[in-house]
Structure 1
Amino acid sequence: MKTSKNSLFHTADKSTQNNCIPFNRWYQDFSTLYKQVTYATIKCMYSDIHQLREKISLNYKDQDRFILLKVLDKAQTAMKTWGYTCTDFLDPFKRALVRDLLFHIKGLQYIEFGGYENANRQSFVFMTSDMSKELFEPDQMFALVSVTPTAGIDALTHRDYLGAVMNLSINRDFFGDIVLNPKGCMIIGKKSIIETIHTSLTNVGKYTVSTQMESLEGIIVPEEKVKEQSISVSSLRLDGIISKAFHISRSDAADYIKSGKVFVNYKETIDLSKSISENTVISCKGLGKMELLEVSGETKKGRLRIKINVYQ
């Protein structure tokens, strides 16, 4: 039985060969279908973003509104270019707002990047749902620089390094954490900003400094100071836990909550009686941050025994 050497389909039966779809026709059909699906996906995403813009304009304060609209601009750019785009570096409170927003955009995915695990300030990197998170290379968008004083290392603080960078007319949102280490500090941020710091930063306070570009994997992160405690509370109410964890009166805890200084999982709450579950992070402006690890049982007097982490 003969088979043409030039045939795309090597079949034993000529009638079977005639029933096969030529590759070029199959590719055209697939390409057309893919474009239709892609167009429908993008149209849906644009519709979601348009609705969110209206919602933001009506329901958010000026500063939050500005940040969220910029985030939507970046998401829309990712859809237009079919590439990766990144936002400014946001603190945990702003990122909590953004996550709630992104939940409503179908076909969009993201990662949060801050250079290391549990970084305080992180950037959202957007991509469409058919792109791979694993293929994203952080060094395309971000960079790391080390800053080493020639003297006065022990005298310099986080505020000193931050002030020196801000004096270069660099927006605080364009770079992430300033991580102190025994030699000075490391700063992570958008690539162009970090290159500017590398070439322009010569002094921190009264001390001369040298800078060096580093690989992102070379960041030196000090261990976070955490103290685990076991305390007893009458219930899992927010005001009661804050009172015990930060050693203040129940009425003072209530004042903190009512004044908008308390955040549960980085979302503001004014509900004194809010029930707190395990693995919940509570932040209090002026007091600190804690996490409820577990409810470990009851005392003989019927109070709840809980384990918490207090971050120092």
Structure 2
Amino acid sequence: MSIYQHFRPEEKEFIDQALNWIGQARNLYSPKLTDFLDPRALHILRTLLGNDHEISLYTFSVITDAERKRAILCPDYFIPADDDFQVSLFELAYPKKFVSIDHRQVLGTLMSLGLKREKFGDIIISGDHIQFLAAAEIEDYLLANLEKIGKASVSLKKIDFEEILQPDEQWDEQTITVSSMRMDAIISSALNLSRQKAQALVESGKVKLNFKQTESSSIECLEGDILSIRGFGRCRILSVDGKTKKEKWKVTVGRLK
């Protein structure tokens, strides 16, 4: 039986990478540090690791409800310290009186520097203060190259984790029951919309699944998935808790306020 059949076809590349990480930790008997992983990728990694008694999985997070985390796979002799995760925290300095900068602009600018999304953690915005987490290995490149966001001149300052902001955004957790795990059913129940309205949102290109646009409302949602719905914010599938007596799925979701 192929391991891939338990996951989506488009997740094969990440599954191969994750299996390689686990193999490196086991065969070299040394820690393996990952890039920043979203909740779905982290769920896949945990599933692949299963009840492995030789390799442990640790993650690093300095904010409540962090969406992206670096992880370390390691033999049981090794317990990582915070420094082992090689994460840097930056704060943006910009002319706050004259310019407003949003999450999308920050991410777009970071990506335009030619760096992979996996090298960045969460972007934290609280009022007019903006911070973000990044892999320590790109620290020097960021400090040398991030000079503008849009038309605004900006500068970066590396700061200690004790100075981290808690984001303005908060996740509300709720339990829903759905007839199936189809995307339109999840959106309908989580957002309290009609099934027809939920289908229309997906099919008109207003929904992203794990940050990639999809126009198929029949896709089955899985644990760890993040749904970004234009005009409604984000939903995260926290856990799939089995079926009720009436054969409906019981699902715990987080919704971004």
TM-score by length of 1: 0.59
SS at match of 1:263: coil
Mark the structure with the bigger radius of gyration: 1
Asked if the contact 1:148/1:183 (under 8 Å) is kept, the reply is no
Question: Who is 2:107 aligned against?
Answer: 162
Higher relative contact order (CA closer than 8 Å, sequence separation 6+): 2
What letter corresponds to residue 43 of structure 2 in structure 1? A
SS at match of 1:155: coil
Contact kept, 8 Å, 1:114 with 1:177, in 2: the verdict is: no
Partner residue in 1 for 2:149? 204
- Among candidates 84, 93, 108, match of residue 55 of structure 2: 108
**1:55 alignment partner in structure 2:** 3
The offset of 1:78, in angstroms, is 2.6
**Matched residue, 1:93:** 40
C-alpha distance 192-226 of structure 1, shift in aligned 2 (>3 A)? closer
Q: 2: CA distance between counterparts of 1:65 and 1:174?
A: 20
Q: RMSD over aligned Cα, in angstroms?
A: 3.8
Residue identity over aligned pairs, in percent, reads: 22
Partner of 2:113, secondary structure, is coil
When residues 266 and 141 of structure 1 are mapped into structure 2, their CA distance, relative to the original with a 3 A threshold, is same
Query: What's 1:289 paired with?
Result: 235
The superposition leaves residues 261-311 of structure 1 with CA deviations (integer Å, 9 ceiling, x where unpaired) of: 5635325xxxxxxxxxxxxxx85755532789xxxxxxxxxxxxxx98642
Structure 2 vs 1, CA of residues 73 and 226 (structure 1 numbering), >3 Å: closer, same or farther?
closer
Structure 1's 245 and 169: CA in aligned 2 closer, same or farther, altered over 3 A?
closer
Which runs of 5 or more structure 1 residues have no equivalent in the other structure?
A: 1-50, 268-281, 293-306
C-alpha spacing 1:228/1:65, structure 2 compared with 1 (3 Å): closer
Which structure carries more strand by proportion?
A: 2
Q: Is 1:173 matched with 2:118?
A: yes
1:219 match: 164
Q: Name which of 20, 41, 49 aligns with 1:73.
A: 20
Question: In the TM superposition, what is the alpha-carbon distance from 1:224 to its structure 2 partner?
Answer: 2.8
Q: How many residues are matched?
A: 227
Q: Does residue 191 of structure 1 match 2:152?
A: no
Distance 2:109 2:216 in 1: 36
**What is aligned with 2:248?**
none
CA shift digits 1:217-269 (9 cap, x unpaired): 3221224335689x9x9x664577753542322444578697245635325xx
Q: 1:173 to 1:240 in 2, by over 3 A?
A: closer
Q: Which has the higher helix share?
A: 1
Distance 1:99 1:190, change over 3 A: same
The verdict on how the C-alpha distance between 1:184 and 1:247 changes in structure 2, with shifts beyond 3 A counting, is: same
Distance 2:44 2:147 in 1: 37
Worse-matched range after superposition: 123-132 or 250-259: 250-259
